[in-house]
Amino acid sequence: MNGRFHFLTLVLLIAMPLYSRDKTDVMVMTNGDRLTCEVKGLDAGVLYVSFDYIDGTALVDWTKVARLESKQLFLVKTVNGAIYKGKLRTPPDTPADRPVKIQVLAAQKEAVLDRDQIVNMIATSESFWKRFNGELSFGEIYSKGNQSTQYTLSSQTVYVRERWSALVGFESSLSSSSGTNASTRNSVILSSRRLLRRNNWYYTGVVTLLQSSEQGIARQTTLGGGIGRYLKNTNRMNISLAFGPAFVNTNYNQSVVPVNNQKLAAAIFFGQAEFFKFSKTNLDVTGSVLPVLSDPGRVHFNTDASYYIKIVGNLKWNMSFYGNWDNRPPPGFSGSDYGTSSGLSWTFGLK
């Protein structure tokens, strides 16, 4: 399965540039520059555009855009969670000393929005491939002193639709050093979100698979779901929190200490925070707390954090941290597994 997944990621990287439309959109900057281009979308305060005379996609500071005209249909999301679908235009009668307005021209309902209120724009398309965003990361650390080596590989792909999205993520690490057994950790996450009619509220479902030799976990399956809300959603940060019921099924490595497989009913509190600064740096932090209802007092806690610095184009350097904790593991098993890594990341789409 992992081979097919990474092959799909490679196909996406190759296929994305093949889909384009005529570059007839008009963008006027605050300094008066007028540019004809193709607007691809807006994410994290960055407007993605392409030009006939520039190879690749250009990244534009959204706060420097004074006017925007496009006949392409876009899905536009605002700070308060409202979603509009339509073509884009700046009202011609907007005074120069007033906040920049963007008019969404829809067949049924038109809206005039302040530029600063728009946090996300996605060009609608019938193309399956153009709805993907994601990244692929690889890292390696070597120490001659104890002949230790650590490899990390991760990938993430998000499929975006009008009011919902689906995510598939994979992380793998291998650590070995002289005189000790190799330590491995592999995790897979599948999740989806769908916006509710009430702005900034959504419901979500998640499935995670975990293998950790450090904790003696042969396979741990977690199923959860519930209701969530975007607490903060701007061009500088995105913070959300969700909660609901969960079920945890853990198969332990019987060669460590004989123990029965454990099936636990729990609640799940899941938080995610993203902080970004115009395509230069961004910090992503996710965490989940699972109080075990069928074993009161027992708590599972998981977290992942990644800090990215842009190098050139879609290539970034990253530093990551992961951690899993169980405050009441079976006797003879470790209650924690955590580590750090650094390496390179390649992103595609509007990631």
State pLDDT tens for residues 139-178: 877 666 666 778 889 998 988 777 788 999 999 988 877 6
Give the C-alpha distances (Å, rounded to integers) separating 143 from 140, 146, 147, 184.
10, 6, 5, 18
Evaluate whether residue 2 is within a structural domain.
no
CA distance 317 to 179: 31
211, 192, 193, 213: which is closest to 201 by C-alpha? Answer: 193
pLDDT at 53: 81
pLDDT at 22: 66
Evaluate whether residue 254 is within a structural domain.
yes
Evaluate whether residue 8 is within a structural domain.
no
Statement to judge: residues 151 and 277 lie in one domain: yes
94, 123, 152 - which closes a domain: 123
Statement to judge: residues 268 and 242 lie in one domain: yes
pLDDT at 336: 93
Statement to judge: residues 236 and 137 lie in one domain: yes
**CB distance 49 to 36 below 8 Å:** no
Q: For residue 321, what is the domain's CATH number?
A: 2.40.160.40
| Secondary element (H or E) of residue 88 | strand 83-89
CA distance 201 to 148: 46
CA distance 6 to 266: 32
CA distance 37 to 53: 10
63, 95, 123 - which closes a domain: 123
Q: Are strands 237-252 and 34-43 parallel, antiparallel or unpaired?
A: unpaired
Statement to judge: residues 115 and 228 lie in one domain: no
**CB distance 191 to 222 below 8 Å:** no
Statement to judge: residues 114 and 166 lie in one domain: no
pLDDT beneath 50: ranges in the chain? 1-19
Q: Which range marks the domain in which residue 111 is found?
A: 20-123
Residue 104, Cβ density class (10 Å: 0-12 exposed, 13-18 middle, ≥19 buried): buried
Output phi, psi for 256, to 5 deg.
Answer: -80, -65
60, 93, 123 - which closes a domain: 123
Residue keyed to tokens 């079920």: 247
Evaluate whether residue 106 is within a structural domain.
yes
DSSP assigned state of 107: S
Handedness of CA 138, 143, 149, 150 (dihedral sign): negative
